[in-house]
A = this chain, B = another copy of it.
Amino acid sequence: MVTITDISKACGVSRATVSKALNGAPDVSQETAARIRKTAAALGYLPNATARALKMGRSYNIGVLFSDETGGGISHEYFSQILESVKAESERLGYDITFISKDLGRMSMDYYEHAKYRSCDGVVIASADFQDPAIMRLAASEIPTVTLDYSFDNCSSILSDNVRGMEALVRFVRAKGHRKLAFIHGEMTSVTQKRLASFRRTCAELGVPVPADYIRPAVYHDPRSSGLATRALLALPDRPTCIFFPDDLSFLGGMSELEKHGLAIPKDMSVVGYDGIPLSQVLRPRLTTYRQGAERMGTEAARLLIEQIERPDTWLPQQITVEGELLEGSTVSDIG
């Protein structure tokens, strides 16, 4: 490993001067600076992020937290898109990213401890159980934190426009003439509550009744449970004409259930999803759904976090809502 000491020897100057030259300090002559940079390049010098972090108290490293337990793992397209964009924006701004988890090897630590252990300058909480005390501890700590799809007091957050998204879907379906709307929802997170409330409110505004039977629980990203919920809906004496699924992937569970009953989409039953992942638009018929701006959410999360890290004095917590977009697809029939 070639260090500034090697360069200082090769150039016949002190280590301090080398450091200054390499960091573009003003108090070093043009010529020496040039000479130093040249030999640094010739020797293949690379700064050592570890030493720099230790000295400066800044690691240029941000933590990313995906707690898999809640099913918000990296392998769901919504989250992997977020991860990818957080990564891209962070790197663009000069930061590396590291995963934060519970329990590293034999040492057991919580999220906060893990982040401190790695000297993360900040953490993006991308998916988590926000009731988990370990998550709350991290969010309340001195470590800059940005949350996605949940808002902690005094933390910045990036929110998907769940209320407007659901409203757009309901209005679209209603405009197609539907008045019997069933809603299968995921676990009762705050996101779910928002979507459900928006569903109910919009239905009320449009004068559409919502029988209790039409609201069914399931699990996000789990086609099986949505399939079961679909089956229950089909068993009702008064079937709905359109089913709202918790997400695009869950719809697939409903799809095969409908098929078993010999029901064609959208002729015999209309459906809508949520998320607008690429998959949904490659299915036939194309799924009617609401595309969340996942890439934009990740980008904004990284941007906001790094801004807070680099300008802590002028920082104020900020909520950014990222708009999505209705994808009309063709899974809602016009029965107007």
Contact = CB atoms under 8 A, between A and B. Distances in A.
A284 interface: yes
A335 to B, nearest CB: 23
Nearest to A260: B284
Contacts of A252: 279, 282-283
Interface stretch (A12-20, A26-34, A71-79, A152-160): A71-79
A253 B284 CA distance: 10
A280 B184 CA distance: 23
Nearest to A92: B105
A91 B66 CA distance: 14
Contacts of A333: none
B119 A106 contact: no
Contact of A282 (B98, B116, B223): B223
Interface string A112-135: 010011110000000000000000
Contacts of A68: 84
Nearest to A221: B278
Contacts of A96: 98-99, 104, 118
Contacts of A284: 255-256, 259
A54 interface: yes
Q: How many chain copies does the complex carry? A: 2
Interface in A232-291: 249, 252-253, 255-256, 259, 279, 282-284
A117 to B, nearest CB: 5
Given A54-B54, A282-B256, A284-B259, A109 B75 contact: no
Contacts of A189: none
Contacts of A53: 50
B73 A84 contact: yes
Interface in A51-86: 51, 53-54, 59-61, 68, 73-75, 77, 80-81, 83-84
A118 B49 contact: yes
A105 to B, nearest CB: 2
Contacts of A61: 98
Contacts of A87: 74, 99, 101
Nearest to A61: B98
Q: Which of A50, A80, A105, A249 has the most CB of B within 10 A?
A: A50
A61 B99 CA distance: 11
Interface string A204-224: 000000000000000000010
Contacts of A60: 105
A94 interface: yes
B279 A253 contact: no
A252 B252 CA distance: 14
A91 B80 contact: no
A307 interface: no
Closest 6 CB pairs of A and B: A94-B105, A75-B80, A252-B282, A256-B284, A50-B53, A223-B282
17 contacts: A50-B53, A68-B84, A73-B84, A75-B80, A75-B81, A75-B84, A77-B77, A91-B101, A92-B105, A93-B105, A94-B105, A95-B104, A96-B118, A97-B98, A97-B99, A252-B283, A253-B282
